[in-house]
Amino acid sequence: MVTYLSGMPEDDGSASVFRALADPTRRLLLDRLLARDGQTSTELEAELEMTRFGVMKHLRVLEEAGLVVSRKQGRERRHFLNPVPIRLVHDRWIGKYTEHRVAALADLKAALEAPMNDTATATTQVFRVHIKATPEQVWQAITSPEWTQRYGYRTVSEYDLRPGGTFRALANEGMKAMGAADVVVEGEVLEVDAPHRLVQTWRMLFEPGQAAEPLTRITWEIEDLPGGLVRLTVVHDVEGAPLHAALVSGETLQGGGGWPYILSDLKSLLETGTAYMSEPV
């Protein structure tokens, strides 16, 4: 599978990720963002006892690899951990038949070694992927039920694409076998600027705890880049919804899941015609 990431030539896309992760200081920066996402460079400088210039230099390398996304919020620029490139490496190098064994070992190691982090209490999560496609193709893949049932969790997404319109995702047969209702996600369309921007609310209904949480908010941003690339950014505001925060980040799912899994699968489908996972989750 050919992948395309920030600052990368048209190769397998993993070289810049491996280079970025090879440096212990950059891994430490990612650890700090994993523990508390959305920090400014000043906050990271204080935590790492490093000069601002050093922090910015390492953050630039991480951004070029796609592992960090920076966004201006008010007068500050905040930095967010983006796990999608790591998921892309995972999907290339770990076969779907060995994934569950690797995930079991990783989950055990994480449970024994990892300190508690604040992912579940984060109020904003940012995910980004670069796709060899047109904005129109990406828009269709996000909003068309014929496309959404071919990647990710294989739900049929139904949009009324106008402000105030409804959104719902219908359960696939595997979800229904697990006891899910017909509708597993619901929401409202808030803004539409096809094929560049879509803002909607979102509430998962798979189990009562999720359904009891308040609506969250998703912003899809589709940017046309030179060379036939599209930059797709998903900003998920999950304030007051810790179950949603943990699930969409993939933190509570064996082997990873959530937005990193969905965006990696979407990229694979648009670029190769085949999603990474051939069977519905």
Q: Which CATH architecture has domain 119-272?
A: 2-Layer Sandwich (3.30)
Q: What is the rounded (10 degree) CA torsion for 255, 261, 267, 271?
A: 40
Task: Please give the mean pLDDT across all residues of the chain.
Answer: 84
CA angle 118, 130, 68 (to 5 degrees): 30
pLDDT per residue as tens digits for the range 154-189: 999 999 999 999 999 999 988 888 888 899 999 999
Of the candidate ranges 11-15, 27-31, 135-139, the one whose mean pLDDT is the lowest? 11-15
CB contact at 8 A, 187 and 165: no
CB neighbourhood size of 55 (10 A): 22
As a whole number of angstroms, the distance between CA 5 and CA 229 comes to: 10
| CATH number given to 15-82 | 1.10.10.10
* Residue 6 clears pLDDT 50, i.e. is over it: no
Q: How far apart are CA 269 and CA 264, in angstroms?
A: 9
pLDDT at 117: 47
Looking at residue 94, what is its pLDDT? 62
Q: Is the pLDDT of residue 256 over 70?
A: no
Alpha helix ranges (H) inside the chain: 15-21, 24-35, 41-48, 52-64, 84-93, 99-113, 135-143, 145-148, 173-177, 208-212, 242-249, 258-272
pLDDT tens-digit map of 72-97: 988 899 999 998 988 888 777 665 54
Closest to 189 (Cα-Cα) out of 180, 197, 198, 176: 198
pLDDT of the residue at 179:
86
- The SS3 assignment for 132 reads strand
Give CA–CA dist 204/258, Å, rounded. Answer: 12
- pLDDT computed for residue 213 by the predictor: 95
Tell me: the pLDDT tens digits for 116-156?
Answer: 444 445 689 999 999 999 999 999 999 999 999 999 999 99
Domain locations in the chain as residue ranges: 15-82, 119-272
pLDDT, mean of residues 95-115: 48
Rounded to two decimals, the pTM is 0.77
> Is the model's pLDDT at 100 over the cut of 70?
no
30-65 pLDDT, tens digit per residue, is 999 988 999 999 999 988 878 888 899 999 999 999
Q: What Cα–Cα distance (Å) separates residue 159 from each residue in 109, 150, 156, 238, 244?
A: 41, 16, 10, 21, 21
Mean pLDDT value of segment 99-109: 48
Give the percent of the chain with pLDDT over 90. Answer: 60
In angstroms, what is the C-alpha Rg of the chain?
Answer: 18
Can you spell out the DSSP letters for 55-99?
HHHHHHHHHHTTSEEEEEETTEEEEEE--HHHHHHHHHHS-TTTH
